[in-house]
A and B are shown apart, each in its own frame.
Chain A
Amino acid sequence: MDILEELTGIFKEVMENDDLVVTRETTAADVEEWDSISHIMLITSIEKHFKLKFSSQEILKWENVGQMVDAIQAKKG
């Protein structure tokens, strides 16, 4: 499974929306359920799922899902 696909699964679970479509271009503005609270749940779930930890600087830099995918990819090596 590629990272975007795995990430989509996490988004669906956290946002409780099985119809959610997530692309590299998706931003928080595109997803109604993506607020500050679900963002925290999202980060926690991502860190747990991929068994890695992000610094706050990294998280703050993300502007869309594509950048999240790249960051995960870079960490996983």
Chain B
Amino acid sequence: MLDFQSLKNLAKKSQLVQSKPLKLAVMGNYATQFLSKSLEYSGKVSGFETKVYTAEYDQIELEIVNPGAELYAFEPDFVLISISSLKLLQKYYGIPEDRKSSYARDYLDQINNLLTTFSSRSGATVILHNLEIINDQVFGNLYSKVSTSFTKHIYDLNAGFIRIAEAQDQVFLFDLNGLIQYYGSSHVRDWSQYVHSDMHFSLDFHAVIAEKLMGFIATFRGIFKKCLILDLDNTLWGGVIGDDGMQGIEIGALGIGKAFTEFQKWIKQLKERGILLAVCSKNTESVAKEPFEKHPEMVLHLDDIAVFMANWENKADNVRVIKEILNIGYDSMVFVDDNPAEREVVRQNLPEVTVPELPEDPVLYLDFLKSLHLFDTASYSATDKDRTQQYQVEAQRAQLQTTVTDMPTYLKSLEMQITIEPFQAIDIPRIAQLNQRSNQFNLRTIRYTESEMQAISGSGDYYPVSVKLKDKFGDYGLISVLILKKIDTDKLFIDTWIMSCRVLKRGVEDAVLNHLAALAIQEDFRYLVGEYLPTAKNNLVKDHYANLGFTFEDPHWTLDTENFSPHIHYIKN
């Protein structure tokens, strides 16, 4: 939860990026100075030259009715009217019994008249918020049947506020109750501050309201999100399509699949609302598209996706291409990926793109993303939903151009550390599992069982190698397995070379090759010999040995260690 002090610090560091100043008037039926302060800070953080006018305490009616009031002289662009239910409650208890029944109706009439008056004198946009739901426990759960129950009136007032917002074009209704519910009452209010200082919300909750409210206000100035860019493996479905296949990925009603299904349903609704969806995945395109085309449980289909980028290039470059095709600003894009390293490369290269720090557990993706209010909007029209189709045509036309990102800087910043060692007994199960599951980065696709692995590990003719990697975001664990076999007095054959695709394009192959060359020299083998056996799924590594500087002597690839100079990479041992 954002706190007041942090918001203040952010505001101090912020830069003015919006040309048009923002004038906001705040009126409330309680002490609103902290709300005003928070809104001023939030406005600055959003890049606005922000001026806030705070009306005197509990003067909403007088300010609006009096044409000479400072409210009008200030010429606000936006007016926030903040009404605290706690204050209404105190006043309500003082009303004569015979007038309590019509309380909500009377109050709505009053607000309605005030807003009509205001709109006749000012073109400012008015933002009300719904009233905090309070059950004062006087009538308990009988509230709906008792015309003098305060709780009943609060619900009636909120329904009435919706009708006012529907009827008056200038009036919008901010969802305060949504925030209160998400953050919980213990964060919303500090009773000691309420009693002593008339603080109706806690200091920090003011910052939360202001942040979200400013996000909403910014949408009136054209600052809103238009595009959601999605990773696939472990983001839209559980598992890795390239390794686990159509039957293996998790989506649907069972187990963790439910989380991904519900996530996709939400995304589909956003698309229907007019948010453009793009896919950005490290995958072979045909493999990545298959679930969209054929998986019965997929909610999203290919025609929901405006731009589909599945390749092995850097994701920042792919986001650049998506931006070019859609012709929208980076600041209107949201990039969602479960992999912290991918998030980092996009953040570093394209700081304007919003990159949410997704929780590790997929069950939390949806709730977390909803809490960010990323897709707030000031308008909606029924034609918005056709947008995807227009862009799909555009995408087909567009020439794909990839820009080179500064990879060395990025790779260095990952602070990668590698461990290359012979098989350790404790790692054998994971080694066997990786050997069974890897399809894409797998040069010969030879499967060994766990006991065969153990036998290899103990044999003098084999040099088994496992590779572990970690970086500043965490430990990837055991990500690559190699089995080298003596096939001649001077030849060491690479029987198995597999690697997890999660660590592709990090230079792991180069670090491993340097290790292999050193091992060969140390064990008196002049040549390293490799082989690529094509399968339906390992197209990814067809040029693997060529890329590493091996020469092709049918059917094998050979590297002469006497002419080998170590490859450059950015991974520490």
Give bound CA distance, A45 to B6, whole Å.
Answer: 11
When the two chains form their complex, are residues B192 and A41 in contact, meaning their CB atoms are under 8 A apart? no
Given contacts A36-B197, A40-B197, A40-B203, contact A13 B5 (CB under 8 A): yes
When the two chains form their complex, are residues A37 and B3 in contact, meaning their CB atoms are under 8 A apart? no
Give bound CA distance, A59 to B193, whole Å.
Answer: 11
- Point out the residues of chain B lying under 8 angstroms from A48, CB to CB: 3
A27 at the interface (CB under 8 A from B): no
* Secondary structure call for the B interface: helix
A73 at the interface (CB under 8 A from B): no
**Cross-interface CB contact of B4 among A41, A55, A56, A59, cutoff 8 Å:** A41
When the two chains form their complex, are residues A56 and B3 in contact, meaning their CB atoms are under 8 A apart? no
B311 at the interface (CB under 8 A from A): no
Give bound CA distance, A54 to B193, whole Å.
Answer: 11
When the two chains form their complex, are residues A44 and B197 in contact, meaning their CB atoms are under 8 A apart? no
Q: How large is the interface on A (under 10, 10 to 19, 20 to 34, 35 or more residues)?
A: 10 to 19
B196 at the interface (CB under 8 A from A): yes
Binary A-proximity of B261-275 (CB < 8 A = 1, otherwise 0) = 000000000000000
A14 at the interface (CB under 8 A from B): yes
**Cross-interface CB contact of B193 among A14, A40, A55, A60, cutoff 8 Å:** A40
When the two chains form their complex, are residues B5 and A55 in contact, meaning their CB atoms are under 8 A apart? no
Give bound CA distance, A55 to B3, whole Å.
Answer: 21
- Point out the residues of chain B lying under 8 angstroms from A59, CB to CB: 192, 196
- Point out the residues of chain B lying under 8 angstroms from A14, CB to CB: 5
Given contacts A44-B203, A44-B204, A56-B195, contact A37 B33 (CB under 8 A): yes
Give bound CA distance, A13 to B4, whole Å.
Answer: 12
When the two chains form their complex, are residues B192 and A37 in contact, meaning their CB atoms are under 8 A apart? no
Give bound CA distance, A7 to B197, whole Å.
Answer: 22
Write the chain B residue with the least CB distance to A56: B192
Residues from 23 to 46 in A contacting B, C-beta threshold 8 Å: 36-37, 40-41, 43-45
Give bound CA distance, A59 to B197, whole Å.
Answer: 12
- Point out the residues of chain B lying under 8 angstroms from A43, CB to CB: 193
Binary A-proximity of B1-43 (CB < 8 A = 1, otherwise 0) = 0011100000000000000000000000000011000000000
Binary A-proximity of B178-209 (CB < 8 A = 1, otherwise 0) = 00000000000010110111010011100000
When the two chains form their complex, are residues B192 and A44 in contact, meaning their CB atoms are under 8 A apart? no
- Point out the residues of chain B lying under 8 angstroms from A13, CB to CB: 5
Give bound CA distance, A42 to B413, whole Å.
Answer: 38
Give bound CA distance, A55 to B192, whole Å.
Answer: 7
Which of B3, B195, B203 is the most central at the interface, judged by chain A CB atoms within 10 Å of its CB? Answer: B203
**Cross-interface CB contact of B5 among A37, A41, A56, cutoff 8 Å:** A41
Residues from 340 to 376 in B contacting A, C-beta threshold 8 Å: none
- Point out the residues of chain A lying under 8 angstroms from B190, CB to CB: 44
Binary B-proximity of A57-69 (CB < 8 A = 1, otherwise 0) = 0011000000000
When the two chains form their complex, are residues A40 and B199 in contact, meaning their CB atoms are under 8 A apart? yes
Give bound CA distance, A9 to B197, whole Å.
Answer: 24
Distance (whole angstroms) from the CB of A35 to the closest CB of chain B: 11
- Point out the residues of chain B lying under 8 angstroms from A41, CB to CB: 4-5, 203
When the two chains form their complex, are residues B196 and A56 in contact, meaning their CB atoms are under 8 A apart? yes
Distance (whole angstroms) from the CB of A49 to the closest CB of chain B: 10
Given contacts A36-B197, A56-B196, contact A44 B4 (CB under 8 A): yes
Distance (whole angstroms) from the CB of A15 to the closest CB of chain B: 12
Write the chain A residue with the least CB distance to B195: A56
Write the chain A residue with the least CB distance to B12: A16
30 A-B contact pairs sorted by A residue (CB < 8 Å): A13-B5, A14-B5, A36-B197, A37-B33, A37-B34, A40-B34, A40-B193, A40-B197, A40-B199, A40-B203, A41-B4, A41-B5, A41-B203, A43-B193, A44-B4, A44-B5, A44-B190, A44-B193, A44-B202, A44-B204, A45-B5, A48-B3, A54-B192, A55-B192, A56-B192, A56-B195, A56-B196, A59-B192, A59-B196, A60-B196
Q: Please give the residue numbers on chain B whose beta carbons come within 8 Å of chain A beta carbons, in ascending order.
A: 3-5, 33-34, 190, 192-193, 195-197, 199, 202-204
Beyond A37-B34, A40-B34, A44-B204, 12 extra complex contacts between A and B, CB < 8 Å: A14-B5, A36-B197, A40-B193, A40-B197, A40-B199, A41-B203, A44-B4, A44-B5, A44-B202, A55-B192, A56-B196, A59-B192
**4 closest cross-chain pairs (CB), A and B:** A56-B192, A44-B203, A40-B197, A56-B196
